[in-house]
Amino acid sequence: MDKDLNGYFSHEQLDVYRVALEFAGWVPGAAKGLPVRSSLRDQLMRASESIVLNIAEGAQQQTGQMAKKHYRVAFGSAAECAAALDLLALHGASNLHEGHQLIHRIGAMMRRLAR
């Protein structure tokens, strides 16, 4: 993110957005070489991107109801990521601790925003 432009959009001020970006950046590296179907890795990547995009869109909304709609979608995508990490662990992936920490932090923050 360009430091000179940081702050122009509302989502750039949200801690949950920054953590979601960190998680979305973590996913591709962690997904390399996982011993499962590529469709699960692809789904994890799409869901992690959905979190970031829906937080950004929700933060720009003029009404609280519209913002909450996007935050609920982001929360759902975070739950999907948590489940995908659980499935990866079930299939033998072992480098998921950081991802679990990040997604649970995102989930806690999204739960508050979606209310």
- Domain extent at residue 74: 10-114
> How many domains would you assign to the chain?
1
What pLDDT score was predicted for residue 59?
94
Residue 19 lies in a domain: yes
Residue pLDDT, tens place only, 48-102: 999 999 999 999 998 889 999 999 999 999 999 999 999 988 888 888 999 999 9
Residue 45 lies in a domain: yes
Residue 2 lies in a domain: no
Residue 16 lies in a domain: yes
Residue 5 lies in a domain: no
Residue 110 lies in a domain: yes
CA distance 115 to 113: 6
Domain CATH for 70: 1.20.1440.60
Please give the model's pTM, rounded to 2 decimal places: 0.88
Q: Which residues, in sequence order, are CB contacts of 41 under 8 Å at separation 6+?
A: 31, 34
Residue 3 lies in a domain: no
Residue 52 lies in a domain: yes
CA distance 84 to 78: 10
Per-residue pLDDT, averaged over 13-39, amounts to 87
